[in-house]
A = this chain, B = another copy of it.
């Protein structure tokens, strides 16, 4: 049972953490701070936090655990601001999409008396904002923790307790390992989706072709509707891994293009392999389409 937990950034993730903590009765008090006052008030109204604050320093005052629940683009300056007012002995964690850069900022800015461990819950929703917050958002989902050799064990203990209270399953991996893996399974997908949207809509007959676009196009272009600034900040903090995956993807596509141009009658074998991999992934991880 935590004494006081502070949630900085009250969007979908921050709000859902608050709701889940209350549901699990895992903290005596949850405080909150958000640049947008409306979000803080809404978070209190739905019971995600007990007490909103107008100043970051007040929200983290006396908190044994501080959860930074902002997008990765805000993380550098947020860590600098937290560093200037946090008390010794506190534990800090974050939920940003990339971990190597955030971890190195944390180790650079936070005082040595403050323990940090990076985290990344593998969950989400079409909708964003505290209005979409949901106590069950983490239930059964994977929550990555990315300690380094410099991480204090107290941070691992406390954040593991948090993750258990949320109902999620912990996976430990190194920051760079995390970033390489999510570059493939979540960042490459949004670049692929954005690229297909822009390519097809720049075609000469988009006004007509858009009427023929059906379920397949809807699926492949869905990620293109995501937040542009968040995507950019992910690219800026995970460029190396993402570039590597893009090179692999372009090589696979080029190979397929050459075989299609050559009227290769054995393309179905390659397509069947993809089908099998997709069905295996889906069944192994209980994914519902």
Choose one: B123, B249, B267; the contact of A199 (CB below 8 Å): B249
Determine if A270 is an interface residue (Cβ-Cβ < 8 Å). yes
- Chain B residues, CB < 8 A from A177: 205
* Contact segment of A38-46, A85-93, A147-155, A178-186: A178-186
Tell me if A209 and B197 are in contact (CB < 8 A).
no
Tell me if A231 and B268 are in contact (CB < 8 A).
yes
Copies of chain A in the complex: 2
- Chain B residues, CB < 8 A from A226: 271, 275
- Chain B residues, CB < 8 A from A284: 210
In chain A, residues 172-217, which have Cβ atoms closer than 8 Å to a Cβ of chain B?
A: 173, 177-178, 180-182, 184-186, 188-203, 205, 208-217
Tell me if B205 and A180 are in contact (CB < 8 A).
yes
Determine if A157 is an interface residue (Cβ-Cβ < 8 Å). no
Tell me if B211 and A285 are in contact (CB < 8 A).
yes
- Chain B residues, CB < 8 A from A219: 189, 193, 219-220, 222-223
Chain A interface residues (CB < 8 Å from chain B): 122-124, 126, 141-142, 144, 171, 173, 177-178, 180-182, 184-186, 188-203, 205, 208-229, 231-232, 235-236, 239, 242-243, 245-250, 252-254, 256-257, 260-261, 263, 265, 267-275, 277-279, 281-282, 284-285, 287, 289
User: Could you show 21 A-B contacts with beta carbons less than 8 Å apart?
Assistant: A122-B214, A124-B214, A124-B215, A178-B212, A181-B209, A189-B196, A189-B219, A191-B260, A192-B253, A194-B274, A196-B249, A198-B270, A199-B249, A199-B252, A210-B284, A219-B222, A221-B281, A225-B278, A231-B268, A239-B260, A250-B250
